[in-house]
Structure 1
Amino acid sequence: MPLTFTLDPAVTPALRDGILDLWTDVSNAGGAVGFVPPAAREEIRPELVRHFVAMAEGCSRLLVGHDEAGEVAATAFLTFNAHRLMTHWVWLYTVMVHPRHQGRGYGRDLLAVAEEAARSFDGVDAIRLTCRGGLGLESFYGSCGYKEVGRIPDAIRVAPGDDRDDVIMLLPLD
């Protein structure tokens, strides 16, 4: 059964806790979403609060996918560029699908809905994201239409002696 996606849902305690659970579960499953296992909710909470502040300030929009049980199963944050010469593209941050839902095409669905949302934003011509190298994510994003446009070697330190590339991907919307 497909996920149900909502752009700009009301931020309720249930949504907050659902995103926090999702982010924790994805992190602890080895997902490249800013944390490494073992990750605790208390460690992730301040980052989620920063996203909510950006939303309240009108700088970011939340896309959330709920599964058939009504649980948060996927997220992505579309963040507007504050630099006046770069307002023609948005960032896509914290792209996550719960591990129990992976392999069903929900990641592609999430990216397609994010693309649709970005196309509705005035003056936005592209989506930009970064991903952690060494996990095959650039191949996944590439299969969804994103192009690798840059790579910073060893920019992400996952652990001592385990540095990964920061891969910059772009999806033109023309």
Structure 2
Amino acid sequence: MALTFRLDPEIDPALRDGVLALWVDVSNAGGAVGFVPPVTVDDVRPEWLKRLAQLSQGDIRLLVGYDEDGTVAATAFLAYNTHRLMRHWIWLYVVMVHPEHQGKGYGRDLMAAAADAARGIDGIEAIRLTCRGGTGVDRFYESCGYKEVGRVPGAIRVAPGDDRDDITMLLPLG
């Protein structure tokens, strides 16, 4: 069964708890979403609070995928550029699909929903994202139409002696 996507859902306790639980589960399964396992809700909450502030200021938008039970199963944040010369593209951050739903095509569905959401924003011509090298996720994004446009070797330190490339990818929407 497919996910149901909603852009800019109402932020209520159920959504908050669902996003926090998703973020923890994805992080602890090895997902490259800003943390290194193990993490708890208390570790992730400060990042959620930063995103809430950005949401309330209109700097970012939240895309949520719900499973057939209405549980938060996928998310992505679409962030506007504030630089006047770069307002024609947006960033995509914290792209997550719950580990129990991986392998069902939901990641592709999430990426398609994010692209559709971006196309619905006046003046947006492309999406940029960054990903952590060494995870294989760059191949997934390539399969969704993104092209690698930059790489900083060793920019992400996940542990002493374990540095990963920071890969920038772009999806033109035209």
Q: TM-score range by the shorter chain?
A: over 0.9
Q: Which letter maps to 2:2?
A: P
Task: Provide the residue aligned with 1:142 in structure 2.
Answer: 142
Task: Provide the residue aligned with 1:162 in structure 2.
Answer: 162
Q: CA deviation at 1:164?
A: 0.2
Q: Which letter maps to 1:145?
A: G
Cα distance in 2 between the residues matched to 1:56 and 1:79 = 12
Task: Provide the residue aligned with 1:74 in structure 2.
Answer: 74
Structure 2 residue matching 1:61: 3-state secondary structure: strand
Task: Provide the residue aligned with 2:30 in structure 1.
Answer: 30
Q: Which letter maps to 1:158?
A: V
Cα distance in 1 between the residues matched to 2:37 and 2:117 = 32
Cα distance in 2 between the residues matched to 1:137 and 1:148 = 12
Q: CA deviation at 1:139?
A: 0.5
| 1:29-88 residue CA offsets vs partner (Å, 9 max, x unmatched) | 000000011011111101011111111101100000011111100000000001111000
Task: Provide the residue aligned with 2:88 in structure 1.
Answer: 88
Structure 1 residue matching 2:10: 3-state secondary structure: coil
Task: Provide the residue aligned with 1:108 in structure 2.
Answer: 108
What stretches of structure 1 move > 6 A for 4+ residues in a row? none
Task: Provide the residue aligned with 1:127 in structure 2.
Answer: 127
Task: Provide the residue aligned with 2:47 in structure 1.
Answer: 47
Cα distance in 1 between the residues matched to 2:122 and 2:2 = 29
Q: CA deviation at 1:17?
A: 0.5
Cα distance in 2 between the residues matched to 1:4 and 1:92 = 19
Q: Which letter maps to 2:71?
A: E
Q: Which letter maps to 2:134?
A: G
Q: Which letter maps to 1:111?
A: M
Structure 2: gaps (5+ residues) = none
Counting matched residue pairs gives 174
Q: Which letter maps to 2:93?
A: Y
Structure 1: gaps (5+ residues) = none
Cα distance in 1 between the residues matched to 2:52 and 2:169 = 24
State the percentage of identical aligned residues: 68
Q: CA deviation at 1:142?
A: 0.2
Q: Which letter maps to 1:133?
A: G
Structure 2 residue matching 1:87: 3-state secondary structure: coil
Cα distance in 1 between the residues matched to 2:99 and 2:116 = 24
